[in-house]
Structure 1
Amino acid sequence: MSIALPATARPGDGLAEMDELTSKLTDLYQQHYKQLLRIAALLVDERAAAEDVVQEAYLRVFNSRTRLQDPDKALAFLRTAVVNGARSALRKRAVFRRYRAQLATDEHAPDDNGRGMDRMVLAQALNELPRRQREAVVLRYYADLSESRTAEVMGCSPGTVKSYCSRGVSKLSALLGERV
């Protein structure tokens, strides 16, 4: 989807530049949607929740595009927004679980949306990791971000990322046996 300039946009009035940024953000979303969705899915372990996280993250970045000083950093902001959105979704899920017994809801069968057994096993093992370790492992090894980029997204130092990854991989190895 491409966004055309409005008929009233003229060079130098600010609207043309805004529409160019809007177009760049739209292209960025389309190019990286699948990767961002996979990151979110590994962090929250529910496809529907992951889709919501990615869409809300994009809307956050898009709505604050006027404050985006360096458009080349939009992807980094988008990744950070996805991780923060996943954190928020997990917090909401934890509150729901805490109060679930008080709510009179029916239990639903687990959703089998075609994921393979290995993915389910990995997702379950990832859920056993502490939140920060899970984020570091997903960003570092699945999203294939560098240690410094992972640290930037997580808001910590590269040494902390190394520590989280080392501990996370060790725990995954223990949980999955020889599969890691």
Structure 2
Amino acid sequence: MKEKPVFKANMNNCNQLTTWWEEALHGNVKSFGRIHDELYSGLYFYLYKIIKDEDAAQDVLQELFIKMWERRITFGPIKNVKYYFFKSARSLAINFLKAARPEFVGLSASHDIDIVFSREDVLVLEETGREVEHMLALALNTLPRRQKEMIFLRYFDNWNYDQIAEVTGLQYQSVVNHVHRGINQLRIKLSEGSKIATTELVLS
């Protein structure tokens, strides 16, 4: 039985990614390979959370990198390479769901993505006791879909609000509001189990 992927946040050097992309524009396969290696784990984890199927997530990710390489001249210079890739991955994931699953036929880029958290995901944030990990995962999964996606990007990959807005297509203030409402809801839910102090520690 395959283990579910667990992503450990990796802070990328945006300037280096931009340099590699500029070199890739001139046909440098090695530089494009470096972009692939740098972004692969984060993109795969994000796609897996959206699609909820390991093989399908890998297929969509492969499609993404092929598309980005073959159409690189059309795309031209990219200001923020990482978030352009994530935004493109999100779009491809939505297209996959629409094509593969009838219940998603009407899905669009503006729709909420339903991300499900596991206890293993919570381990990414902080070393905590098993009971707390379980409670936090349960609490996260009770949030509205949009709040879950915002919190996933904010705390599981250390994105700032501008970056989340860029990828999801939401306004900056809307992202801030969703994250703050989600955190407040988590504190309320966990305080019911006397775990509010842990929540403030993990999601500060």
TM-score of the pair, normalised by structure 1? 0.62
Query: Compared with structure 1, are the counterparts of its residues 75 and 163 closer, same or farther at alpha carbon in structure 2 (3 Å cutoff)?
Result: same
Deviation track 1:114-157 (CA, whole Å, cap 9, x = no partner) reads xxx61386777666544433322221111111111111111122
User: For residues 141 and 92 of structure 1, do their structure 2 counterparts lie closer, same or farther at Cα, with a shift above 3 Å needed?
Assistant: farther
Residue identity in the other structure for 1:136: M
Higher Rg of the two aligned structures: 1
Distance 1:134 1:164 in 2: 9
- Counterpart for residue 18 of structure 1: 26
- Say if 1:130 and 1:53 are closer, same or farther in 2 by CA, change over 3 A: farther
* Larger mean Cα displacement after TM superposition, 131-140 or 77-86: 131-140
Q: Secondary structure at the match of 1:19?
A: coil
Which of 73, 82, 94 is residue 66 of structure 1 equivalent to? 73
CA positional deviation for 1:71: 4.4
Q: For the residues of structure 1 that align with 2:65 and 2:97, how far apart are their CA atoms?
A: 18
**Which one-letter code corresponds to 2:164 in the other structure?**
T
1:89-104 aligned at under 5 Å gives the runs 89-92=96-99, 95=102
Partner Cα separation in structure 2 for residue 127 and residue 94 of structure 1: 22
Q: Which residue does the alignment assign to 1:10?
A: none
**Whole-angstrom distance in 2 between the partners of 1:128 and 1:89:** 25
Identity %: 25
CA gap of 1:83–1:160, structure 2 versus 1, over 3 A, is same
Tell me, in whole angstroms, the C-alpha distance in 1 between the residues paired with 2:137 and 2:64: 22
| C-alpha distance 124-36 of structure 1, shift in aligned 2 (>3 A) | farther
Match of 1:79 in 2: 86
Q: Which runs of 5+ in 1 are unaligned?
A: 1-15, 99-116
Structure (1/2) with the larger helix percentage: 1
Instruction: Sort the Cα spacing of 1:130 and 1:34 in 2 relative to 1 into closer, same or farther, 3 A.
Output: same
Instruction: After TM superposition, list the pairs within 5 Å mapping 1:111-126 onto structure 2.
Output: 118-119=119-120
> 2:148 is matched by which residue type in structure 1?
R
| 43-52 vs 143-152, greater mean Cα deviation | 43-52
TM-score, normalization by structure 2: 0.56
